[in-house]
Amino acid sequence: MGIDNTEKQIPGRGCQCDAEQVTLLPCSGGSNCGQITNQVAVELTDSGVGRIYCLAGIGAHIQNMVESAKSAKRIVAIDGCSVACAKKAVEHAGLAVTDWICVTDEGIAKNRNFKLPRKDINLITQKVMDSLARPI
């Protein structure tokens, strides 16, 4: 029995995901660094810089989501650590990562403390903004 990767939509409740000019794909992993990626993507979405997108849907090869993501001008993978799950999932789905940020590469130690320091969120937010300021 294979995996059905088609998007199943319940009337009125289907996925409303559309890629934007800047699509933000945080790993949202099970550590402080993974959760920093998610918080950064949420805040950048709230401020209008880009739009958080569903990494699980991309990783599951949900065709409508992958096709929608192809229309993004910038695909930003934000990973908590060098395992690079977000970047690898995006690439495995056949999409090109235009910007990659790794939290642990910025000197933030990976742990299980989920009280995320504002300074760490601000640092990674600035790294994303710096990356987006560079032409692709």
pLDDT digits (tens, 9 = 90+) for 17-66: 555 699 999 999 999 999 999 999 999 999 999 999 999 999 999 999 99
Number of other CB atoms surrounding residue 49 within 10 Å: 19
- For residue 43, CA distances in Å to 60, 79, 128 come to 25, 16, 12
Distance, in Å, from the CA atom of 133 to the CA atom of 136, rounded to the nearest integer, reads: 9
Structural Rg of the chain based on CA atoms:
15
15 falls in which pLDDT band (50, 70, 90)? very low
Q: What is the pTM of this model?
A: 0.86
Q: Regarding predicted confidence, which is higher, 11 or 88?
A: 88
C-alpha closest to that of 66 among 41, 42, 44, 91: 91
Among the residue ranges 17-21, 102-106, 120-124, the one predicted with the least confidence is: 17-21
Average pLDDT, the chain: 89
Contact 57, 93 (CB under 8 A): no
Q: Where are the domains of the chain?
A: 22-133
The DSSP call for residue 94 is T
At 81 the three-state DSSP class reads: coil
H helices within the chain, ranges in order?
Answer: 32-46, 55-59, 63-69, 85-92, 118-133
Q: Residue 3 — pLDDT band, cuts 50, 70, 90?
A: very low
